[in-house]
Structure 1
Amino acid sequence: MTNQTAFHAGLLNPSTPVPDGLTDAQARPAGRRYGVYRNNVTVSLREALAEGFPSLVGLIGRENFDHVARAYLRQSPPTSPLMMHYGAGFPEFVASLDQLAHLPYLADVARIDVAMRQSYHAADSTGIAPTALQALDEDTLLATRFSFAPSMILIRSPWPIGSIWHYTLRGGHKPTGHAEDVLILRAEYDPEPFVLGPGAGDVLLALRSGTPFGPAIEQGGDGFDLAALLNILLSNHAITDLKS
């Protein structure tokens, strides 16, 4: 019987010899069948990565993406049968590649793709009523702490990753070079990435850590648009609870 470790190790590396002693159900040598199976596994995993990282496919092209994906899956094969989780470490792998160092924003754009899947599969939650904040007097509101939906994910980057993601997958204006915070929200079924305005990311981090509303919004600094942030959060059911 072929060693199971050798069998699995050879699946993702075509340069690895066919495991010794591999036979089919009739005890015949099964090297050719193993080769076909190995190719099918590699192609399937590559397709899964391409589907999970559409922005990277658009940015570097499918052929280049396939080369990167092939190297990744050999280094980091799936550890779970749930393919929806496969590729969580792909952004870090992309960031480590010297041949992609001239595109330093790629890894952070890939993190949006990962966050979109994570948000999609996150637990359901119910947002507060849009008028809930208006019902609080000023002192109570400033002392209130917020809870957020599990599907809410914040990604911060020194690059215009939200604009790059939208431009690559949806068209529009060409991105300019400045830092962007991207907030992934799932109002109902499909998550959506929102590019936040200045200071909004700092305010959200403070709120998410349990800082009361008053001190949290002070983190926004000059140019922070509180109304815009609250509109995004409330219209996408991101705030799930208020605690005084």
Structure 2
Amino acid sequence: MTSQSQFTRALTDPAQPVPAGLVSPRGSVDSKRFAVYRNNVHVSLVGALAARFPVTRQLVGEEFFAGMARLYVGQTKPKGPVLLHYGDSFPDFVAQFPPASGLPYLPDLARLEAAWTDAYNAADVDVLVPADLSTIGGDALAALDLTLAPSTRLVRSGFPVGSLWSAHQTTPVSIPALSGSECVLLTRPEADIRLTIIPPAAFAFLKAIGQGLPLGQASEAALTDFPDFDPGAALVGLAGLGAFAALTKEQADV
């Protein structure tokens, strides 16, 4: 008798034999019928990638994207039954896909789209607002350990992928000049994802906070590379974008 795991492996890998338990009305293994099942799974996975990377698909065209996605699906199978995160490694695949080498911004654009999906599906939490910081000052503020909101995502690219993604959210699409780097912040203070292009210093500051540094040390880390950085203004601005989870009772009572 064929186990569920054997059936799943056979369904997603054409190199596997047809499960012995799948028989035709004549009593023989029905390879043709199982091939239909395999094809339906393959098509559904390609469709999941198309849904998760719509701007990438628009930029390269349906035929190119379908071919690229089919190769990826052939090499990479879902790790579970939920397809929300299927394609996490797709940007790295795109970076190594020779036909896409003429579009050097494409892997980072795909990374931004993957991050967008992650931000959209992240857990809901209350977010920090600038007024929450008004009663904390001096040494207490410098020692404060903030937590990024679950939906907060950071993407840094040598290309203007944030502007490129934003251009494809409008009709007609107005493609920006594909030069210049961008630091992109994704937040979800309410129901909708907010994409904001932030300065490199603010990016470094927020990344340091995300790595667990208290505000004072995160400020120092950013100031090392960006002497003109204003940590106070950046903190208020990032809080206004919904980048941080709300303070715990212990933090608020400091």
1:27 equivalent in structure 2: 27
Alignment of 1:119-158 (within 5 A): 119-158=119-158
CA contact (8 A) 1:152 1:186 kept: yes
CA contact (8 A) 1:198 1:223 kept: no
Moved more, 52-61 or 222-231: 222-231
**Cα shift at 1:5:** 7.5
CA contact (8 A) 1:159 1:179 kept: yes
Moved more, 137-146 or 105-114: 137-146
Alignment of 1:1-244 (within 5 A): 8=8, 11-12=11-12, 19=18, 22-24=22-24, 27=27, 29-170=29-170, 171-172=173-174, 174-218=176-220, 219-220=222-223, 221-222=226-227, 224=229, 226=231, 227=233, 230-236=236-242, 238-241=244-247, 243=251
Equivalent residue of 2:104, what SS? coil
User: What code does the residue aligned with 2:142 have?
Assistant: L
In structure 2, distance between residues paired with 1:198 and 1:5: 47
Gap change, CA 1:25 and 1:240, over 3 Å in 2: farther
CA deviation string 1:20-61 (max 9, x = no partner):
855136625523322322222211111111001112111111
Equivalent residue of 1:195, what SS? strand
In structure 2, distance between residues paired with 1:39 and 1:193: 36
In structure 2, distance between residues paired with 1:208 and 1:85: 21
Equivalent residue of 2:159, what SS? coil
**Cα shift at 1:228:** 5.5
Gap change, CA 1:26 and 1:117, over 3 Å in 2: farther
Moved more, 147-156 or 210-219: 210-219
- The aligned length equals 243
Moved more, 121-130 or 166-175: 166-175
CA RMSD, Structure 1 to Structure 2 (Å): 2.9
**Cα shift at 1:192:** 2.6
Gap change, CA 1:39 and 1:157, over 3 Å in 2: same
Unaligned 5+ segments in structure 1 are none
Unaligned 5+ segments in structure 2 are none
Gap change, CA 1:223 and 1:101, over 3 Å in 2: farther
In structure 2, distance between residues paired with 1:229 and 1:141: 11
TM-score by length of 2: 0.81
User: What code does the residue aligned with 2:185 have?
Assistant: L
CA contact (8 A) 2:112 2:155 kept: yes
Equivalent residue of 1:85, what SS? coil
Moved more, 163-172 or 150-159: 163-172
**Cα shift at 1:229:** 5.8
User: What code does the residue aligned with 1:241 have?
Assistant: L
In structure 2, distance between residues paired with 1:161 and 1:229: 24
In structure 1, distance between residues paired with 2:244 and 2:23: 55
In structure 2, distance between residues paired with 1:4 and 1:229: 51
TM-score by length of 1: 0.84
CA contact (8 A) 2:162 2:182 kept: yes
Question: How many percent identity over aligned positions?
Answer: 36
CA deviation string 1:44-87 (max 9, x = no partner):
11111100111211111111111011001110011210011211
User: What code does the residue aligned with 1:211 have?
Assistant: L
CA contact (8 A) 2:149 2:242 kept: no
